Structure 1
């Protein structure tokens, strides 16, 4: 029997050309996949920072709104009642208080002092004359004062306001209460003017809100010794003021006497202005620092501050991480910051290199009309 020898096909491998082509295709496909994944990863890293900026903006907005809307709230018990705006300017465009106060001639766009009377029983008057160098005062018992307390509920650490009908005011902190002696002691600085018997005294809230441009923080100053940071990474804060075109009508002096608003004949010394913001007019820094001056000592204030009816707030925040901020064309380079106001995306540029990781600064502008400054409108 004859056996037929079969033939077997030889198995062929890949050529070097085929390997190169297949590798190139694989690299292209892999690169395309990573190009889709990388932006998503960048966006995932940015979203927590976006939420953080929005939350800090919410805290800043709500804090300023609640405080400004209360500005000027006055006494509602005791010998005198009504908005503080009838007695002095409860909104001041500067820092006031015991530590590092601004001069009364200062106008700052990034600081505001707000004064108002909270819900309190401690509203009465002084029962004896009070010289401006005195650290002690006596108060008059009133029907609204807590029963069994000689000093109308005033206590150590309480913020207190004393004011009269002549446009004078002083805020201070109670350091000691002596019921047996029937008087209070306050922190050591002199008052701006002496006060006659019958001047009003009440518990008060007096805070300055200002931008620390060194630490980029919105801070609250309590008027005594404490500055508390409220919001981090704030790169701009601006306050603008709008007022009544008609001159203020209070405080009005007694007939035959004059003050910063009226002459001895009862004629108003301030002009009527032209409206340029609806029924209101913009109050510039120059207008609010040129007099006539009301009050006394370091608590003097421009009479036009009594016109304020609306405040416009601009608040600008940045991402906390520099890698989420990029350089604007034409702007400064990190770590320097651009001067305010700045219209670019980043007040303080960072090191971000991809658009998917950019978090532009957040800017919010809103108006607040303090209700206690608009009671006659």
Structure 2
């Protein structure tokens, strides 16, 4: 007996409706309501998982203990629009002009969310797997601190006995053409906040003062010239970047009492966040001894480096992308961080999505044809996974 006919979900229309929800982190503005309604209508069991004011959603079609459980992950929150007057189109209008969809989140990543929601709903309606489950996890805290988003969902899943055997994250991954690249890992990220404590005084009498900037700049100079590594088999060399130096001193004839700096290291699998914290502290201790300037240091590790090893899952994604686009995606670990850094502790994770050229920019936009192709790719991945 054939399945009852149904109308496929239009991923372009769904993306436009999501864009019209001004869900700047951590506001939801109705975005998760749209997703929940679509999933519930298709038979998904939907659970809201708010934590500390952050909206999150977990949805599962099929049994909790299914033999095969395929997961999608994404976020509905977006970054601020910046100067709204600089936009050619309403950043929350979701307008389609000459085959291009405009708005904040068009690329990062309401289009990816819409594409995998549409693919998942159509799949379970058309060819529901007898022994499988499809899981969708959505957060409103990816562009923000990321403490109460996907982390909260994973904590809840562990407590409830929920799981995923593989997970696809719909972040934009392609540099110039859809199909060019998928992410099979990410560098880790550690931020260091450094405070140098000296003694304030008159610049004409330096012997009566101790300049904290001299100790701070000595440390920073040492760190930026120290080679961390030359790269590894799957990762580029680690990168240390100073992001700010400040002492809050408006006077040109006063030695300040205190100075601060912040730096970030994006690191490969030659390091861990802990090893880099120790490395930073050892250099701070050495400069403190040399200069007499007291240097204190606080670190925040937002994610460790990871790699999803080549195997059945990475090949499945690559083959589906190539079948729909004609391009064999490069398996890359480049770029920033994503919520894949949390999911990798649960199951193998791969990221694939749209071309990311306009993400976070004024006039963020995407050709509608790319959204339709992305849905086809996700649908093919589901069909092959459960074949």
Indicate whether the TM-score tops 0.5.
no
| Bigger fraction of residues in helix | 2
Q: Give the structure with higher Rg (CA).
A: 1
Q: Which has the higher contact order (CA 8 A, sep 6+)?
A: 2
TM-score range, shorter chain: under 0.3
The TM-score with structure 1 as length reference comes to 0.23
